[in-house]
């Protein structure tokens, strides 16, 4: 690592700390957690696909899509219960 890399890394850390200390830190923290979640899920996809090289972008996009869909279902309150137009409520 050269001297410029370590200086810029220090600046990045300070900038991140300022963002986290700001009054709007909750969305930033949520975004950071989401990034970590996507990375973990993309790695799981990579492993499940037999560790195929050259698919990192596709794995990332698939992981992002799957986690967003999962989050949308949770927000809609559809995790365990589904209501149909006839009024039936049941677990599927």
Q: What are residue 90's DSSP bridge partners? A: 82
Residue 78 has pLDDT above 80, yes or no: no
At residue 47, the pLDDT reads 96
pLDDT in tens, 4-61: 445 566 777 777 667 666 666 566 656 766 888 999 999 999 999 999 999 999 999 9
Q: Where are the domains of the chain?
A: 26-74
Pairing of strands 81-83, 89-91: antiparallel
- Encoded tokens for 81: 């219960």
Residue matched to tokens 């037999």: 50
23 or 78, higher pLDDT: 23
At residue 85, the pLDDT reads 57
Whose CA is closest to 38, among 57, 53, 60?
Answer: 60
* pTM of the model as a whole: 0.51
Q: What are residue 83's DSSP bridge partners? A: 89
């Amino acid at each position: 690592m050269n001297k410029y890399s370590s200086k810029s890394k220090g600046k990045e850390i300070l900038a991140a700390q300022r963002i986290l200390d700001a009054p709007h830190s909750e969305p930033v923290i949520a975004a950071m957690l989401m990034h970590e979640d996507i990375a973990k899920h993309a790695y799981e996809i990579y492993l499940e696909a037999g560790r195929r090289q050259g698919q990192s972008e596709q794995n990332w996009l698939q992981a992002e899509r799957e986690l967003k869909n999962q989050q949308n279902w949770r927000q809609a309150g559809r995790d365990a219960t589904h209501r149909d137009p006839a009024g039936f409520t049941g677990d599927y």
